[in-house]
Structure 1
Amino acid sequence: MNRTPSIIGVVLDFTPTAFFARLALVSAYLVGGIDKLGDWPAALAEQAHFGLTPPALWAALTIAVELIGPLLILSGRLVWLGAGMLGVFTFFAALVANAFWVMPDGPERFAAMNAFFEHMGLVGGFVLVAVLARRGQGDA
């Protein structure tokens, strides 16, 4: 039995809703990729900050993932690949950037823990995008 209120059903059934939801999910990656592409020295410095060497390789891979993944998801073609790229990238980025389990107690650890679990939520969102695309739902 479907108990979804009718107004919510209208919003969910509105064709552009799925596209705008996917756009919201990938927006930070698009902005990040464009920003890094426009400021290569900062992209290199970010990779070096996290100890990734050679930084140029990691910066180029990051830009590619942050631009190609969202475009695949938004285009509705090879959604599983775009969602997989961003999900794996986000998982490993969270491990590298938010390793709260090695930090002493305090506000920095608390912030890193929150950021880590927020990123795990994004990973779950990418899995859902791939599931819905496979099922042919959500205009994906």
Structure 2
Amino acid sequence: MSRAPRFVAAILAWRPTLFLARLALTSAYLLGGIVKLTDWQGAVAEQAHFGMTPPAFWAALTILVELIGPLLILTGRLVWLGAGMLGVFTLFAAFTANAFWTMAGQERFMATNAFFEHIGLIGGFIALAMLAQRQQADA
């Protein structure tokens, strides 16, 4: 196993790095929740667009997940729960919004990329939950 260069080790050891990484991983969800909260009709319309019924219920649930999940992760409290919430939500969204197997041409290409980007985010949430678990065990 090779060691990271000093500057990389310094960045990784810098106390704010983990918080900034958590913020980066959750920022789209946090922003999405705030935007939906401030544009309720738009949030409901989005759910209706994806065939979610009743759309108001799914809009409210989406807002709750997109706000509570990041807050749990950013505060370091129940990180496993916040990561799990966002991971399951992301998986559900990937299948709902990026069903590339039903598409053709450029639309299929773009949806395939978005689908696997969502899968990558889920991996990030799993890794974050594992890291939090290890930190708690070491404490």
Q: Which TM-score tier does this pair reach, normalised by the shorter chain?
A: over 0.9
Q: Give the aligned partner of residue 115 of structure 1.
A: 114
Structure 2: 5+ residue stretches without partners: none
RMSD of aligned alpha carbons:
0.9
By percentage of residues, which structure has more helix? 2
Name segments (4+ residues, structure 1) moved above 2 Å. Answer: none
In 2, Cα distance between equivalents of 1:103 and 1:34 = 31
In 1, Cα distance between equivalents of 2:64 and 2:35 = 12
Bigger relative contact order, structure 1 or 2 (CA pairs below 8 A, ≥6 apart): 1
Q: How far is the alpha carbon of 1:75 from its aligned partner?
A: 0.3
Q: How far is the alpha carbon of 1:2 from its aligned partner?
A: 4.3
Q: Give the aligned partner of residue 58 of structure 1.
A: 58
In 1, Cα distance between equivalents of 2:43 and 2:24 = 23
Instruction: Give, as a single letter, the amino acid of the residue that structure 2 aligns with 1:92.
Output: F
TM-score (normalizing by structure 2): 0.96
In 2, Cα distance between equivalents of 1:122 and 1:35 = 20
Q: Give the aligned partner of residue 130 of structure 2.
A: 131
- CA offsets 1:71-130 (integer angstroms, 9 cap, x no match): 0000000000000000000001000000001112x1110000000000000000000000
Sequence identity (%)? 71
In 2, Cα distance between equivalents of 1:31 and 1:62 = 12
In 1, Cα distance between equivalents of 2:55 and 2:92 = 16
Instruction: Give, as a single letter, the amino acid of the residue that structure 1 aligns with 2:95.
Output: L
In 2, Cα distance between equivalents of 1:29 and 1:133 = 20
State the secondary structure of the residue aligned to 1:34: helix
Matched residue pairs, number?
136
Q: Give the aligned partner of residue 71 of structure 1.
A: 71
TM-score (normalizing by structure 1): 0.95
Structure 1: 5+ residue stretches without partners: none
In 2, Cα distance between equivalents of 1:51 and 1:90 = 17
In 1, Cα distance between equivalents of 2:6 and 2:39 = 47
Q: How far is the alpha carbon of 1:70 from its aligned partner?
A: 0.1
